[in-house]
Structure 1
Amino acid sequence: MTRPLDGVTVVAIEQAVAAPLATRNLADLGARVIKVERVDGGDFARDYDHVVHGTGAHFVWLNRGKESIAVDLKTPEGRDVVRRLVAKADVFLQNLAPGAAARLGLGADDLRATRSGLIVVNLSGFGAGGPMTRRKTYDMLIQAEAGLIAITGTPETPVKTGIPTADIATGMYCAQAILAALLRRWRTGEGATVEISMLEATVEWMGYALYTRMYAGTQPERMGLGHSSIAPYGAFPTRDGRILIGVQNDTGWRTLVTDVLDASALARDPRFATNIQRVRNRAECDAAVAARTSHWSTADLDERLAEAGIPAAHLKDVGQVVNHPQLRARDRWREIGTEHARVDALLPPVTFADFEAHMGDVPALGQHTRTVLEESGVDADDLIARGIAAQA
């Protein structure tokens, strides 16, 4: 079947996580993504580690299905290569240091002056304008600036999230914006200049915590596995471990205590009649639930909760997720190539009934330099011999 983005070409000067995630999503949907890298090492995510048979785990995750060219953007010839590529592309995306693209002559105004239909996407930490415009940043710092660290962790210890949440939020909004811009261009012929700020993407994900602070005047507490607005919600003891339970409405509460925990008296306790009352009396509510959950094994209680329609989950480690029975049953793993070995990669979460995501290989640095340069009418041998370009 036709891939949704067949025929779309994206040129990206990208590194780290946010921008590569956005373009990988486009590659999965069939776009041709040409990744422009430095000749001296390329995207620095290549060397965060070498745990995937010699290739970095971040890089394998974020760069499948792309073509890699390595050129020196400090040279006029290197910049000319990028301009030639962009002249035939639909989208140009960059997440260089603030102001760097414009200094290289690759700013939106320059590129769209003769191609109004081009979509130019600028991804940065803080966006254009404001006192922090020129500051470099990365995921943990954005989590701190956005308030995410302030509400994550335990009452005693704030922590960042275990995954790069700010990067992922930004990459997802970036891909969404590109798809919207492409749709508008197909309807009207009009291109776009798009700006994505990591800070603004992450603050948007703060959601209810922002509104709680603005309108209740209170800082949401760090709750560990709990939830500041819902009870019971968290980890509860079983005979052989723990299980996560989340009850999000009063009907669910009555079902939990009556049909699962065999404690119907709790359904009539006025301290727990509504979620607001359960939150006010959280310690007593959690203690009452814990006193009952400890009567069953984790497996048995999980089965009872599932039969009653109460949301619950096991606390899985990452190794258990790799072999998650739901992912295996739904055949969600595919084999892709890297420069050193074949590896397993997870299909993207969007499933089309008539199309499977394009799970391309992860490129070596400069793997496609010669081919792409020749397509662009450039003397590849000359640039490679002079060190302006590099071929894997």
Structure 2
Amino acid sequence: MHRLRAEDARRSRPLRGMRIIEISSYVAAPLSGLTLAQLGADVIRIEPLDGAADRTRWPLADSGTSLYWSGLNKGKRAIEVDLSDERGRRLVGDLIVSGGRRGGMVISNSERHPDLTFEALRARRPDLIHVLLTGRRDGSTAVDYTVQAATGFPQLTGPENSAQPVNHLMPAWDVAAGLYLAVGLLAAERHRLLTGEGQQVRVALEDVALATAGNLGYLAEAQLSGTPRERGGNYVYGSFGRDFTTADGGRLMVVALTPGHWQSLLAATGLTEVVSALASALGVDFAEEEQRFRHRKVLGELLAGWFETRTLAEAESALRATRILWSTYRSFTDLAADGARLLRESPLMAQVRQPGVGSHWAPGSPVVMDGEQSPPGVSPLVGQHTDEVLRAELGLGESDLAMLSETGVIRTHDNERSVA
């Protein structure tokens, strides 16, 4: 693993001294906590007895440990509390409102428990910062996949010759919402620092998707144009870009955004004169991005003929000598197999020895602060820090912890029944 000097660690962990309680599950809220933890915040994850519902979500290691959960909770602390018990919720509430200037912050994706809502907790601490993820603005439920379906993107995703909607494998709205939650918390903390006032921050998953569709022009186009956009497969909308197959079955994605990219692509493939003649015949100028897009299919077929007569290595060699935007298609298995070059040499990655998983390459924070970034941490076991957190943060003694454990209000790693 990366070893940071003390001064480097200070630069890469600017949120050190900030304590955040996380009551969450699945992607968006845990990603928010992970983002803040990797920047130095002390994020304490609240787990119900035996772990939250996402604790065993696929993919799994051979031991049954969730690789998904381990990835989203690196570097956090975890306590195990019976949230169905009023005494357990009281403990969690005590944690949220304690901590002085460094505490009083919570991230949640549920309003299930009335005593842990913003209103209830603000009555105990007026400067509380309560960050809440909802499915829709009105508080009703939704998940990434249903938000995708409701906001139009699956109708434009997938092969050109298919009329079926295609949901994206990557939960983009969960990821974007998680980052918005983190930004919202930091904005609220800045406001509290300046004014002493707390507040609730709410982010709705559906709003994130609608905002993105609006910010990228999709919604304006649908309102102002009478012609629905057609599904484009792997063509880049409004410019020239598509995938190509080589003689030996390799596949690349090639994008020419600028006139310089376009001229470079034609020079690399020896098609400059042919395409110039085509432009003259059509009466267009392919230096214009609009014209490259309008005539993308005939241009694409000309270029496809060149790629189909070259091996992947030959095509890569020709493109590597240019400033064209391109990449070979690789699977996750390819990425893992290529670890000697990509994963081991990337400053983002470091080896982590995760209980239940073993040693593997994992990412730290992609945010580079003054040339330094925080390396990945280890994800906690269920209840791993229960005693530690309650003792240090709430001042509970051994007799208090023993009583809470004996009555089933809390559970520690030593007496947990679940497999982490």
- Distance of 2:127 and 2:376 partners within structure 1: 29
Match of 1:45 in 2: 54
| 2:313 aligned to which of 299, 320, 325 | 299
Counterpart residue type for residue 32 of structure 2: A
Give 1:211 shift. 3.0
8 Å contact kept, 1:10–1:92? yes
Give 1:38 shift. 1.0
8 Å contact kept, 2:21–2:45? yes
Map 1:212-231; keep pairs closer than 5 Å. Answer: 212-231=221-240
- Distance of 1:267 and 1:301 partners within structure 2: 22
8 Å contact kept, 1:169–1:205? no
Give 1:122 shift. 0.7
- Distance of 1:222 and 1:147 partners within structure 2: 11
Give 1:87 shift. 1.4
Give 1:47 shift. 1.0
Indicate the SS of the match to 1:113: helix
CA pair 305-208 structure 1, distance change in 2 beyond 3 A: farther
| 1:161 aligned to which of 155, 168, 186 | 168
Q: Kindly provide the CA deviation profile for residues 159-178 of structure 1, in whole angstroms up to 9, marking residues without a partner as x.
A: 11122222111111111222
1:386 paired to 2:403: no
8 Å contact kept, 2:142–2:205? no
- Distance of 1:42 and 1:217 partners within structure 2: 51
Give 1:336 shift. 2.7
Match of 1:369 in 2: 386
8 Å contact kept, 1:221–1:228? no
- Distance of 1:302 and 1:263 partners within structure 2: 19
Give 1:191 shift. 2.4
| 2:155 aligned to which of 119, 138, 150 | 150
1:236 paired to 2:253: no
Residues matched between the structures, number: 381
| 1:173 aligned to which of 180, 184, 189 | 180
Give 1:18 shift. 0.8
| 1:63 aligned to which of 73, 77, 81 | 73
RMSD: 2.1
Give 1:180 shift. 2.1
TM-score of the pair, normalised by structure 2? 0.84
Counterpart residue type for residue 237 of structure 1: T
TM-score of the pair, normalised by structure 1? 0.90
Overall identity of the aligned pairs, in %: 28
Q: Kindly provide the CA deviation profile for residues 292-325 of structure 1, in whole angstroms up to 9, marking residues without a partner as x.
A: 2223222222232232211111011112223353
- Distance of 1:242 and 1:261 partners within structure 2: 20
Match of 2:359 in 1: 343
CA pair 112-355 structure 1, distance change in 2 beyond 3 A: farther
Match of 2:20 in 1: 10
Match of 2:417 in 1: none
Map 1:241-390; keep pairs closer than 5 Å. Answer: 241-270=250-279, 271=282, 273=286, 274-322=288-336, 323=338, 325-344=341-360, 345-353=362-370, 355-375=372-392, 376-378=394-396, 379-390=400-411
CA pair 255-364 structure 1, distance change in 2 beyond 3 A: same
